[in-house]
């Protein structure tokens, strides 16, 4: 009794000391469910799971490794915030963690905004649709624990739409119905469109650009509800419904694409389901199928036997004629290129009967007599010819629809160096005479153009004794478009303007190059200097009365010290006799880079190159963006005629974009010259903030040491204003999507 009185007195003394010191106290009391503590300023108990001391050296049930203030915790976040929900635990054997949302099993890895990192559930850029109850359950064979988070999101989400639906890859049969879903989150008013790109079954799984999109339907509040357009139903499928179906959802902050793949197989390939058929009928169907199969096999064997007999009769009847064809083909293929005597074929090697036979058979797959050799001889120049013995062809560095580019080494091609690294351009093994002639035309244009720091230099060629090879200077960093994309800052990587490097159009040149230029990232000044260098090269090219016709970032190479080199002159034309060139033949053309008069009238001039240059400048200022990404090639002329143009890139100065807009004037006579463009760019660089350009002396403009207006005395400066821009460029639109255009002319 005395001991109990002393203990009570001791407790009372501690309480009096705490009251007088005015400090908060925590008093632990027993609870049937959890331990709890009282805050001195609170009336209600706050439950807490105290850390447990558990020996987990062998086995133990799951337990929390950090204090858990509440079993159900309420969290309030603004929209677009980053949220991390943590369930810190330990267990042995290893426990399985399962996440629930609103009491339903939740798979975060299936959603774009969610990710799991061990015991964390991370949500990036939350929206109001992420509001809900999230529960983590940790369980092993010895026990289970759980905790919950009531997540409340306040405010509107300032982000592009986020998809709930996932991409699908479906296989259906002719006559079936199919429905695609396009469910999404968007706080701002959405605009929904459906497109299809019809493709053959053999090509449907290739990783290609979606550049032939066919519009299906879009959200129209007057004719349908928003829920209706979220579903795309196709009834009574046909084989040509095979393809890629794209749902595009746009709001004021951007857009997102959801891709569905569909393969439609013939109805006769549909598997026969027998599980609901009685055994007797199954036996009957099985026997009937066996009989039909035997009949089908017999018919096939009969047809093959008849075809074989017919082939034997035809073969022996025309044996002599076939031998003559093979002889003529052998002579033309082997001697038509290599056995040249004074640049002419030994025509006497082909007897008159064989010649007549070839003409009657109209052998399109064999080279016409003397065609390739005659083409080569007409372009032959002994002064440019380089010995094949001194040329070593290395690895492939680029390829396109019309040729291949290899890195190589040339001995003695440059008088200053014993051995020079070069680029070697040639045609494919199965090249047509027209493709060989295009390469020779490019050779001829490069010889005529001569030397300039911003034009790829022609070093020599090999036209005798083998495949035609064009030898030019080697550009270390490959083409400018791919270089810009490799140097793109993260902010641009999120934009819909850009396509994945793996999705490059197969018709465009693919550059295989390693970029070891890690000195620094690109600045706006660097981009403007790229524009200036290309304009300087085009100014020189036009002074030689030559138009390029295919000016784009993919056709500009980047050499040491980031020097731009205009390349790919295969479609350039000489304007010595006239001021414009009218294209006479059909073929693939770079629609997105072409001026209206080139699109509609096939009329190419210096001013059409100016238009193409402005699209290239837009590519540069967007770090390799895709021009007019949502506009189909066949709609480009109407789109431009209606006054639509691309919008100003984020980091593009107003003065530079005004210069670009002046090149987009519909009337060609109102567009500036390259001399004016160079003057405007130089004027902008000299008038910018005080930056040291002394290390940029490779650019073709006066030194920065003494900038004055006298430096520009010989250059007309284009006023950087929109006053000279025609009314057809007042309206601009820019819808971001993924599409590319062909880049080849014939």
Q: By C-alpha distance, which of 401, 452, 471, 458 is closest to 430?
A: 401
Q: What is the largest CA-CA distance in the chain?
A: 139
In this structure, what are the phi and psi dihedrals at residue 367, rounded to the nearest 5 degrees? -65, 135
Pairing type for strands 254-265 and 243-251 reads antiparallel
CB neighbour burial string for 565-587, b if at least 16 within 10 angstroms, e if fewer? bbbbbbbbbbbeeeebbebeeee
Tokens of 12: 């009372």
Tokens of 567: 């390349």
Q: What is the dihedral of CA 431, 433, 434, 440, to 10 degrees?
A: 90
Closest CA to 479 of 547, 564, 402: 564
Which residue in the list 257, 550, 609, 700 is annotated as catalytic?
Answer: 550
The answer to whether the beta carbons of residues 184 and 163 sit under 8 Å apart is yes
In angstroms, the CA 240 to CA 251 distance is 32
Distance between CA atoms of residues 504 and 208, nearest Å: 7
Instruction: Give the Cα separation of 728 and 666 in Å (integer).
Output: 6
Phi then psi for residue 498, to 5 deg, are -115, 145
Long-range contacts, 319-324 (Cβ 8 Å, 24+): 321/357, 324/353, 324/354, 324/357
Structure tokens at 98: 């399962």
Closest CA to 614 of 729, 522, 713: 729
Other beta carbons within 10 angstroms of residue 743's beta carbon come to 23
Residue 550 among the catalytic residues? yes
Give the pair of three-digit tokens for residue 483. 């270089």
* Nearest 10 degrees: Cα torsion 373, 383, 388, 395: -100
CA gap 423, 534 in Å, rounded: 20
What distance in Å separates the CA atoms of residue 658 and residue 621, rounded to the nearest whole number? 13
CA atoms 547, 549, 555, 556: torsion sign? positive
At how many degrees (to 10) do helices 674-687 and 606-621 cross?
30
Known catalytic residues are 550
């Amino acid at each position: 009794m005395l001991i109990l009185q002393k203990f009570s007195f001791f407790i009372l003394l501690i309480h009096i000391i705490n009251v007088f010191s005015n400090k908060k106290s925590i008093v632990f009391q027993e609870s049937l469910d959890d331990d709890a503590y009282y805050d001195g300023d609170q009336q209600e108990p706050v439950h807490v799971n105290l850390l447990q001391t558990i020996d987990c050296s062998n086995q133990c049930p799951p337990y929390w490794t950090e204090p858990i203030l509440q079993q159900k915790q309420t969290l309030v976040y603004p929209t677009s915030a980053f949220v991390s929900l943590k369930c810190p635990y330990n267990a042995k054997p290893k426990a399985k963690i399962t996440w629930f949302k609103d009491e339903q099993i939740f798979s975060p890895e299936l959603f774009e905004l969610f990710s799991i990192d061990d015991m964390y559930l991370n949500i990036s850029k939350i929206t109001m649709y992420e509001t809900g109850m999230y529960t983590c359950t940790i369980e092993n064979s010895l026990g289970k624990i759980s905790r919950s988070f009531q997540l409340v999101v306040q405010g509107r989400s300032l982000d592009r739409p986020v998809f709930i639906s996932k991409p699908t890859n479906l296989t259906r049969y002719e006559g079936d119905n199919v429905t695609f879903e396009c469910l999404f989150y968007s706080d701002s008013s959405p605009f929904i469109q459906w497109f299809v790109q019809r493709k053959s079954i053999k090509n449907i799984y290739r990783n290609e650009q979606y550049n032939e999109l066919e519009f299906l339907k879009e959200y129209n509040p007057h004719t349908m509800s928003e829920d209706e357009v979220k579903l795309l139903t196709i009834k009574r499928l046909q084989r040509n419904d095979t393809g890629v179906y794209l749902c595009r959802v746009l709001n004021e902050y951007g857009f997102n694409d959801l891709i569905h793949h569909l393969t439609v197989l013939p109805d006769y390939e549909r598997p026969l389901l027998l599980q609901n058929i009685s055994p007797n009928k199954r036996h009957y169907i099985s026997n009937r199928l066996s009989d039909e199969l035997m009949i089908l096999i017999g018919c096939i064997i009969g047809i093959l036997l008849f075809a074989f007999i017919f082939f034997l009769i035809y073969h022996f009847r025309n044996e002599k004629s076939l031998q003559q064809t093979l002889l003529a083909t052998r002579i033309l293929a082997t001697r038509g290129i290599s056995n040249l005597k004074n640049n002419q074929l030994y025509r006497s090697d082909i007897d008159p009967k064989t010649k007549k036979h070839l003409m009657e058979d109209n052998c399109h797959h064999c080279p016409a007599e003397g065609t390739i050799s005659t083409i080569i001889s007409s372009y032959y120049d002994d002064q440019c010819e380089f010995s094949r013995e001194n040329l070593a062809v290395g690895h492939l560095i680029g390829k396109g629809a019309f040729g291949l580019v290899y890195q190589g080494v040339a001995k003695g091609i440059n008088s200053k160096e014993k051995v020079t690294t070069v680029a070697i351009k040639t045609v494919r093994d199965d090249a047509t005479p027209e493709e060989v002639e295009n390469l020779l035309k490019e050779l001829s244009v490069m010889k005529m153009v001569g030397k300039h720091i911003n034009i790829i230099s022609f070093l020599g060629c090999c036209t005798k004794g083998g495949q035609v090879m064009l030898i030019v200077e080697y550009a270390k960093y490959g083409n400018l478009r791919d270089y810009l994309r490799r140097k793109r800052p993260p902010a641009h990587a999120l934009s819909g303007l850009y396509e994945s490097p793996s999705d490059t159009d197969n018709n465009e040149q693919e550059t295989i190059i390693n970029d070891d230029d890690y000195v620094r990232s690109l600045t706006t000044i660097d981009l403007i200097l790229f524009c200036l260098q290309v304009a300087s090269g085009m100014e020189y090219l036009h002074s030689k009365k030559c138009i390029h016709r295919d000016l784009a970032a993919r056709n500009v190479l980047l050499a040491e010290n980031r020097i731009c080199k205009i390349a790919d002159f295969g479609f350039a034309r000489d304007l010595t006799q006239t001021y414009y060139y009218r294209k006479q033949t059909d073929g693939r053309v770079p629609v997105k880079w072409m001026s209206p008069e080139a699109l509609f009238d096939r009329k190419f001039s210096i001013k059409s190159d100016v238009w193409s240059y402005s699209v290239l400048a837009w590519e540069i200022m967007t770090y390799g963006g895709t021009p007019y990404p949502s506009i189909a090639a066949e709609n480009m002329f109407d789109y431009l005629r209606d006054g639509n143009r691309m919008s100003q890139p984020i980091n593009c100065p107003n003065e530079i974009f005004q210069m670009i807009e002046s090149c987009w004037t519909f009337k060609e006579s109102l567009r500036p010259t390259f001399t004016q463009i160079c003057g405007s760019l130089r004027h902008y660089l000299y008038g910018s903030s005080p930056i040291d350009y002394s290390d940029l002396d490779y650019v073709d403009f006066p030194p920065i040491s003494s900038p004055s207006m006298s430096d520009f005395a010989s250059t007309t400066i284009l006023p950087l204003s929109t006053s000279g821009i025609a009314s057809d460029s007042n309206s601009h639109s820019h819808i971001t999507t993924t599409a590319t255009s062909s880049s080849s002319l014939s």
